[in-house]
Structure 1
Amino acid sequence: MKLALILPLAFVALIGVARAEGADDFREATPAETETFNARMYAGTPGKTAYACFVRRYDAEHLAQHPKQKVASMKLLVSAETFEADEQLHNSFRIGFRYRHRSGDFDSSGSCHHTVLTKDGSEVRLGCGVDCEGGGLGIALSKDDKSAIVRLESIRIWQHKKATEDDDNRTLVAGSDDGIFRLERTDNSECAALAYDRKELAALRHK
């Protein structure tokens, strides 16, 4: 899919998430605000590449308090890369998760093309979308930058590193207990299972 098409789709996906939460009013971030958010996300000014890893394994007490929650654990890898073609920083995401009452590991991934703020300035979000109208999510940070707040309505998912044609019809759909996930920042090596190649795997495992 061409970049010109992906850009508006990613923004539409993010606004769709916002509407599902209560019609928050957003505005696009300025370049300076985007730069500040990226520095918060990657715990410093990102270079040619940068990574941020967030993980949550829900314990029995949490799941007992949220009986309708389908997700038992989730990992989020946010990546940044500066392309030589335009010298611009491009963000992307990958998530891996396990269901509560279903075996197997599942993934989703996509590009993040918009940084937006609520009109009252209370929260900044990175807007991300799965290609070809696969849904999207918004990624914010807690005030202390130690947690990622993931908001989704629905996103296309597939079996971990084993995508098939059957996966085209699989989606993770937000319910009353699956629309917002708070994941804790951790060492990048915790997201090594989400790496695409050996070079990336080595970067995530590097201390």
Structure 2
Amino acid sequence: MKLSLLTALAVAALISAAHAEEADDIREASKAEAETFNTRMYAGTPGNKAYACFVRRYDAEHLARHPKQKVASMKLLISAELDREDKELHNSFRLGFRYRHRSGDFDSSGSCNHAVFTKDGNEVRLGCGVDCEGGGIGVALSKDDKSTIVRLERVRVWQNNKPDDEAEQSLVGGADDRIFRLDRTDNSECASLVTDRKELAALRHK
């Protein structure tokens, strides 16, 4: 099955986060596969709106074992919202992190679509991309659904939630910054990634 144009744009980020030999083994997820993944991601049927929050704060022992790791902590908020026009559930992401040796909070965001990696036993992942060739991330779930696996090559980020050219930078996957395992936690842990008041209220009630 060929990827639709809309899906291909978002999944391009996922492909860039995959190894080159995997690129030809990605297909668009079927509706049933996407729905099953959504139920796992949001720990139940999403309904009209749903959130899933994953967090990791790396301790000194972990960082000592990975001296080239640039990231000290990371948060990922995956959101789903039913579009009233096309009646489809649309996924998006917000990523927040702190560097190990730099001050300040950094963040990124964009839209996501489902794709299937056939080499990994038909594993469904989200391909999440940032607009205007801003790179992106691949998001998978652990077998027990208690953690997410984030893969990246490059993703555009902004410091202190300031989306302008001066604050724009990129988080580039290095030797110890290509794959991150984040643990599922209460949605309130990701509240700092949300700036809209109405959405923040919805997040806290989920």
Q: Same fold by TM-score, threshold 0.5 exceeded?
A: yes
Instruction: Write the mapping of 1:73-152 to structure 2, written as runs, cut at 5 A.
Output: 73-121=73-121, 123-152=123-152
Counterpart residue number, 2:22: 23
Q: Secondary structure, in 3 states, of the residue corresponding to 2:17?
A: helix
Counterpart CA distance in 1 for 2:10 and 2:167 is 21
Contact 1:28 1:117 in 2 (8 A): no
Could you state the TM-score of these two structures normalised by the residue count of structure 1? 0.92
Counterpart CA distance in 1 for 2:111 and 2:53 is 16
CA deviation map 1:118-156 (0-9, x unaligned):
334253211110001000110000000000100000000
Give the aligned length: 202
Q: 5+ residue gaps in structure 1?
A: none
Instruction: Write the mapping of 1:35-74 to structure 2, written as runs, cut at 5 A.
Output: 35-74=35-74
| Range 175-184 or range 194-203, more displaced | 194-203
Q: Secondary structure, in 3 states, of the residue corresponding to 1:23?
A: helix
Counterpart CA distance in 2 for 1:102 and 1:6 is 36
Counterpart residue number, 1:162: 162
Identity %: 73
Contact 1:116 1:127 in 2 (8 A): no
Contact 2:76 2:94 in 1 (8 A): yes
| Range 106-115 or range 88-97, more displaced | 106-115
Q: Secondary structure, in 3 states, of the residue corresponding to 2:18?
A: helix
- Tell me which amino acid in the other structure corresponds to 1:16: S
Shift of the alpha carbon at 1:159? 1.0
Q: Secondary structure, in 3 states, of the residue corresponding to 1:131?
A: coil
Counterpart CA distance in 2 for 1:27 and 1:165 is 34
CA deviation map 1:55-113 (0-9, x unaligned):
00000000000000000000000000001010000000001000000000000000002
Contact 2:22 2:119 in 1 (8 A): no
Counterpart residue number, 1:192: 191
Counterpart CA distance in 1 for 2:181 and 2:118 is 19
C-alpha RMSD of the superposition: 1.7
| Range 139-148 or range 23-32, more displaced | 23-32
| Range 9-18 or range 136-145, more displaced | 9-18
Shift of the alpha carbon at 1:196? 2.8
Q: 5+ residue gaps in structure 2?
A: none
Counterpart CA distance in 2 for 1:126 and 1:68 is 27
Shift of the alpha carbon at 1:5? 6.5
